[in-house]
Amino acid sequence: MADIIIKNGYILTMDPSLESIKNGVVVIEDGRITDVCENTEETADTVIDAQGSVVMPGFVNTHTHAGMTLFRGYADDLALSDWLENHIWPAEAELTASDVYAGTRLACLEMIKSGTIAFADMYFFMEEVGKVVEDSGLRAALSYGMIELWDEEKGKAELKKGKAFINEWDGKADGRISAMYGPHAPNTCSKEFLMKVREQATEDNAKIHIHVLETEAELNQMKDQYGMCSVNMLDEIDFFGPDVLAAHCVWLSDGDMDILRNNNVNISHNPVSNMKLASGIAPVTKLLDRGANVCLGTDGCASNNNLGMFEEMKTAALLQKVETMDPMALPARQVLEMATVNGAKALDLNSGMIRKDYNADVIIVDMNKAHLNPLYDVPSHLVYSAGSSDVRTTIVNGRVLMDDYRVLCMDEQKVIDEGRDAAEKLMSRVDAKK
Ligand SMILES: CSC[C@H]1O[C@@H](n2cnc3c(O)ncnc32)[C@H](O)[C@@H]1O
Ligand SMILES: [Zn+2]
């Protein structure tokens, strides 16, 4: 007997070897998908009727700072350097472990409700993030964000913290958590420090999550400092590889794109954050044309201001069309791949497709809504018409985290109240310091 059978749904497999099934069945046992078919004789403890819904792989958000939900709507409409240096960093200096716990719980609640099954996070007080992920049931690739600022002693302490986090958390929560090194960016960490991070990551068999060429200011700073851009500098120190997740990559030359592709670097595109901070437009279609693995992230809630992957997909697709002046650029199906298959590849997850033996990381999207009818093409609706609140069920590792809009893995109202309280107290401490 299986654990879960999802029946009567439109199965969008995202599997190149298996077409979508108009009225199909997904069978789940021990956290895995054991069958994807038109009919089954199998029985299960839980039978979910997905009539009028799309059954698809859940989203992988490949760049976020989950605890920053507490800064949602704080310091809007500013350029990145002003936003970060004069507003966000002074406010983050007041953060406590319990703030990050409350903020990350709020983030996980939002992600579960909007169909995300895994996320790559870089922040502070990462033990709190680990605890939240463990309890929530989500998957995550977590990194302690290291900012060295050319201070050798600080660098040593940061690397020690990064390593301690990896030692304690990699593989935790039955393998749902992986841990990475998180050097913040090439313009906040010295070349020497980044070389040490690379060496340590190789030795520890850990991946690396880093911001790369997000702004023109970073490009100019790097040219002044090293006589070359961040990608060239990182390439020179043999930093790149398939274990690197590079967020943003907005200011790339053609040569930089070749370097990233040739080194199989995973690139997290974060279009809403890039638009809000007016950082620029990443050359996504050029990267995809080269065969690079481009995935999709929201960035933190102070630069987005939500964690919804539906909005991110639509923005990504529209932005590339305007950038290239080609309405055929980044079609719906391709952007869906970025949000599922490519994200899973970047985080080394056996997820991102509805396929036999894959993780049972499945969402059910309710199509019985005014804004989703009539329905000619499912990928089109998912990218251009659907929204976060259309997700009715989220399953991760075979556990139902949200069932028909009801969150089962946490007390929704308590998480909202505690997030709001933590933000209120945090902001009074921030104001007192002004
Ligand atoms: C060292 S933990 C992460 C660090 O990054 C800051 N941050 C959030 N969003 C961005 C962004 O778009 N670019 C650069 N840095 C960002 C966050 O506030 C933390 O300080
Ligand atoms: Zn970021």
Alpha helices in 151-215 (DSSP H): 152-169, 191-204
242 vs 246: CA distance, rounded Å:
10
Nearest to 316 by CA among 306, 301, 331, 305: 331
2 pLDDT more than 90:
yes
Other beta carbons within 10 angstroms of residue 321's beta carbon come to 16
Determine whether the shortest distance from the Cβ of 386 to ligand 1 is under 6 A.
Answer: no
297 vs 255: CA distance, rounded Å:
24
Cα-to-centroid distance, 60 and ligand 1 (Å): 19
Q: Which amino acid is at 102?
A: A
184 in a known ligand binding site: yes
Determine whether the shortest distance from the Cβ of 65 to ligand 1 is under 6 A.
Answer: yes
pLDDT digits (tens, 9 = 90+) for 150-187: 999 999 999 999 999 999 999 999 999 999 999 999 99
Ligand 1, atom nearest to 84 Cα? 18
- What is the token pair recorded at 187? 């313009």
Nearest 5°: the CA angle 355, 13, 10 is 125
- What is the token pair recorded at 304? 């987005």
- Same CATH fold assignment for domains 2-57+359-407 and 59-346: no
Nearest to 294 by CA among 323, 318, 329, 269: 269
What's the N-to-C CA distance of the chain in angstroms? 62
SS3 228: coil
Query: Which ligand is closest in space to the CA of residue 75?
Result: 1
Place of tokens 């009818």: 373
- What is the token pair recorded at 318? 């529209």
Please list the residues that pair with 59 across neighbouring strands.
116
275 vs 280: CA distance, rounded Å:
7
pLDDT digits (tens, 9 = 90+) for 45-76: 999 999 999 999 999 999 999 999 999 999 99
415 vs 183: CA distance, rounded Å:
30
Length of the chain: 434
- What is the token pair recorded at 358? 């894959």
Determine whether the shortest distance from the Cβ of 358 to ligand 1 is under 6 A.
Answer: no
106 vs 121: CA distance, rounded Å:
14
140 vs 132: CA distance, rounded Å:
10
Residues whose CB is less than 8 angstroms from the CB of residue 72 and which lie 6 or more positions away in sequence, other chains included: 301, 302, 305, 306
Look at residue 397 in the predicted model and tell me its pLDDT: 98
Look at residue 143 in the predicted model and tell me its pLDDT: 99
Where are any strands of DSSP class E within 161-265? Answer: 177-183, 207-212, 244-248
> Contact, 4 vs 45, CB < 8 A?
yes
369 vs 297: CA distance, rounded Å:
26
SS3 95: coil
pLDDT mean over 282-291 = 98
Nearest to 208 by CA among 233, 181, 234, 246: 181
Pick from 61, 62, 64, 65 the residue to mutate for probing ligand 1's pocket: most ligand atoms within 8 Å of its CB: 65
Average pLDDT of every residue of the chain: 98
Look at residue 66 in the predicted model and tell me its pLDDT: 98
Q: SS3 letters for 106-135? A: HHHHHHHHCCEEEEEEEECCHHHHHHHHHH
Nearest to 229 by CA among 242, 246, 209, 244: 246
Query: Which ligand is closest in space to the CA of residue 79?
Result: 1
Domain positions in the chain? 2-57+359-407, 59-346
- Domain 59-346, CATH number (from 3.10.20.600, 2.40.50.140, 3.40.50.2300, 3.20.20.140): 3.20.20.140
Residues whose CB is less than 8 angstroms from the CB of residue 414 and which lie 6 or more positions away in sequence, other chains included: none
Look at residue 193 in the predicted model and tell me its pLDDT: 98
pLDDT digits (tens, 9 = 90+) for 5-37: 999 999 999 999 999 999 999 999 999 999 999
Closest Cα to atom 5 of ligand 1: 184
269 in a known ligand binding site: no
What percentage of the chain carries pLDDT values higher than 90?
100
Pick from 71, 181, 184 the residue to mutate for probing ligand 1's pocket: most ligand atoms within 8 Å of its CB: 184
281 pLDDT more than 90:
yes
2-57+359-407: CATH topology: Urease, subunit C; domain 1 (2.30.40)
pLDDT mean over 293-303 = 98
> Contact, 327 vs 319, CB < 8 A?
no
Pick from 63, 74, 84, 269 the residue to mutate for probing ligand 1's pocket: most ligand atoms within 8 Å of its CB: 84
434 pLDDT more than 90:
no
> Contact, 18 vs 355, CB < 8 A?
yes
ipTM field: 0.99
Indicate if the alpha-carbon torsion angle 16, 17, 21, 26 is positive or negative: negative
pLDDT mean over 354-364 = 99
Helices and strands, number each (H, E), in the chain: 16, 17
406 vs 61: CA distance, rounded Å:
22
pLDDT digits (tens, 9 = 90+) for 366-388: 999 999 999 999 999 999 999 99
> Contact, 382 vs 332, CB < 8 A?
yes
